Amino acid sequence: MSAEKTREKEKVSVPTHVAVIMDGNGRWAAERGLPRLAGHKAGAEAVTRCLRAAVARGVDYLTLYAFSSENWSREPQEVSDLTSLMRYYLRHKIAGLHQEGVRIRFIGDLSRFDSDLRVELDRAEKLTSKNTRITLLLALSYGGRGDIVQAAQRLALSVQRGEMAAEQITELEFSQHLWTSGVPDPDVVVRTSGEYRLSNFLLWQSAYAELVFLDVFWPDFNERHFAAVLDHYARRERRFGVRPSA
């Protein structure tokens, strides 16, 4: 059997799209008597491990909840630390990801970031736009409710302008106006740190996703945890609301 056919066989139980709520940076740092910034830096290293694991296992899309819309209400110093980390990785890590064939997309209300950071985000997307090895979506200033609202507003404006009729708004049409337009819905949503909620992440897109909750802080997440997620997924029968046969 060729290597290509072997890979395709292995991908039968591998999700196309994995989405992760990266939680626990602050508590990881607190347990070690470290500042929260140390937790965020350690969390950034976990992103690298997660991405490598996703590539190795043949996942096509990986979405990471990096900065929620609610994060703007944190202490100004922590927000500043987080955006500084973004700038560092955008300036020093994107070239390496590009060489590895990673396509990068950012989803969320990016208008809330300073103009210089938005320039960096745009540059990263354009640089990697032709890559096909894996698509990495980073949710920045993202909220699931806000995503739904902005899609509804855009559709309402189209109806108001006479570009479409209200009855033409279908689920498919609606999904094409979300920030994740063009990306398949996640097959599995993972949350670390032992919390059991979605926290306003991909609310529309996760309607039929398998949910996996791990009792590990995000900075400790590694390839073994990623393998456990895929094992959970492979053992679940996805019915999409269809009644199982007798």
Residue 25 in marked binding region: yes
Residue 218 in marked binding region: no
23 an active-site residue? Answer: yes
Residue 123 in marked binding region: no
Residue 141 in marked binding region: no
3-state secondary structure the chain: CCHHHHHHHHHHHCCCEEEEECCCHHHHHHHCCCCHHHHHHHHHHHHHHHHHHHHHCCCCEEEEEEEEHHHHHCCHHHHHHHHHHHHHHHHHCHHHHHHCCEEEEEECCHHHCCHHHHHHHHHHHHHHCCCCCEEEEEEEEECHHHHHHHHHHHHHHHHHCCCCCHHHCCHHHHHCCCCCCCCCCCCEEEECCCCCCCCCCCCCCCCCCEEEECCCCHHHCCHHHHHHHHHHHHCCCCCCCCCCCC
Residue 223 in marked binding region: no
Residue 178 in marked binding region: no
Q: Which of 71, 131, 200, 222 is catalytic?
A: 71
Residue 36 in marked binding region: yes
71 an active-site residue? Answer: yes
Residue 182 in marked binding region: no
Q: Which of 23, 147, 185, 187 is catalytic?
A: 23
Binding site members: 23-28, 36, 40, 68-70, 72, 74, 191, 197-199, 210
Active site residues: 23, 71
Q: Which residues are annotated as a binding site for substrate?
A: 24-28, 36, 40, 68-70, 72, 74, 191, 197-199
